[in-house]
Structure 1
Amino acid sequence: MIEYESLILFAIPWIVYRTIVFAFKKPFSIKTEFIKALFYFSIIFIYCLTIFPFPFYVYPYEKGNAFQLMNLIPFASIYGSLTHFYYMVPLRNIGGNILLFMPLGFAIPLRYKVNKLWKVMLIGLFISFTVEVVQLFISIRSFDVDDLILNTLGTIMGLIVYRLFILVTKSAKQKETIDLMSKT
């Protein structure tokens, strides 16, 4: 589970930084600040959940060299999760990896005006790959190619949610404009 103290440790520098920026840059936009914070905290959320080990029990056969534990076979751990006897394993592994990167897929086009699928997908893949490489050096974590697949899928799904959000807000604005024009 996420340690709330670690989130607070990342929130305080963000608040101090944005306060200093605001002091020197007078125009203040809540929308802009929200977009920047969404991107920043989606990265911090990913970092907190993937780099800091979960307090789950580590089975003795899972301890060892991270290079021995790595999975380079696509869909191997996904298949293992789906065939596991306990329903929470696929939910936590597959669903968790996808949900973890969805906020990032939503935040990238908001923050950087990047709306092309392949660009957002590459950014999500790069961030996921970076996390997986860092996990090689953490004793109870390991590199898993399936995490790359699921995290990238989560980034794509976040982009899809973003595009749906834009469609809904545009159609609501158009409907409001049409309603206003018909009343006059």
Structure 2
Amino acid sequence: MFQKFYKITIPFYTIFLLYLMFFGFGRSQYDFNIVRLSPLVSTFSFVKETILWKTIVINVFGNIIMFTPFGFLGIIFPKLNDFKALIINFLFAIILIESLQYFTRLGVFDIDDIILNTVGVAIGFWIYRIWASRASD
């Protein structure tokens, strides 16, 4: 039952996430392109400069949790049941999306987003693997 639900909802979830990444949160086009390539520098700066813990949790953990469902993509694409294949394919996709944010100036190409989003996919993959192994027992 979960597999059918996932197959139906993940395309809509993907569209929703893309909307958030390009247009959500009152986002508007920047006057210039921004690239952040120093790993975790922007995240640590954000944490240091933010007063409310709620904002930190939403931003940092949101970047992880929002991508966790993509760790279950093996349900739809069996070749993505392999961790390495999933991560390589996801990295290709997220780098493409971050690049589109850069070129459209509707976001920032941020290495931290790539890292945190990939951590989310990895967590999702291991949750899926544990769930699938228990379901087959």
**Distance (Å, rounded) in 1 between the aligned partners of 2:62 and 2:123:** 13
Q: TM-score, normalised by structure 1?
A: 0.64
Inter-partner Cα distance in structure 1 for 2:2 and 2:135: 15
Task: Please point out which of 40, 59, 65 is paired with 1:75.
Answer: 40
Q: Is the 8 A contact 2:64 2:119 kept in 1?
A: yes
Q: Distance in 1 between matches of 2:26 and 2:2?
A: 36
Match for residue 62 of structure 2 among 89, 96, 99:
96
Structure 2 CA distance for partners of 1:51 and 1:89, relative to 1, 3 Å: same
Unaligned runs of 5+ in 2: none
- Larger gyration radius, structure 1 or structure 2: 1
Following superposition, the deviation at residue 140 of structure 1 comes to 4.7
Secondary structure of residue in 2 paired with 1:126: helix
Aligned mates of 1:92, 1:70 — CA distance in 2 = 22
1:115 aligns with 2:105: no
Establish whether residue 44 from structure 1 lines up as the match of residue 10 from structure 2.
no
Change (3 A) 1:82 1:97: same
Please name the residue that 1:153 is paired with: 119
Deviation of the 1:139 alpha carbon: 3.6
- Taking only the aligned residue pairs, the percentage that are identical comes to 28
**Could you state the TM-score of these two structures normalised by the residue count of structure 2?**
0.83
Provide the aligned C-alpha RMSD in A: 2.4
1:65 equivalent among 10, 28, 32: 32
Does structure 2 retain, via aligned residues, the 8 Å contact 1:125–1:148? Answer: yes
Q: Which has the higher contact order (CA 8 A, sep 6+)?
A: 2
Give the letter for the 1:72 counterpart. Answer: L
SS of structure 1 residue aligned to 2:36: coil
Equivalent position SS for 1:64: coil
**Counterpart residue identity of residue 82, structure 1:** V
Structure 1 residue 128 displacement after superposition: 1.3
**What are the equivalent positions in structure 2 for 1:162-181 lying under 5 Å apart?**
162-171=128-137
CA deviations 1:16-66 (Å, max 9, x no partner) are: xxxxxxxxxxxxxx777534323322321321211223127x8xxxx5302
Number of residues of Structure 1 aligned to a counterpart in Structure 2: 135
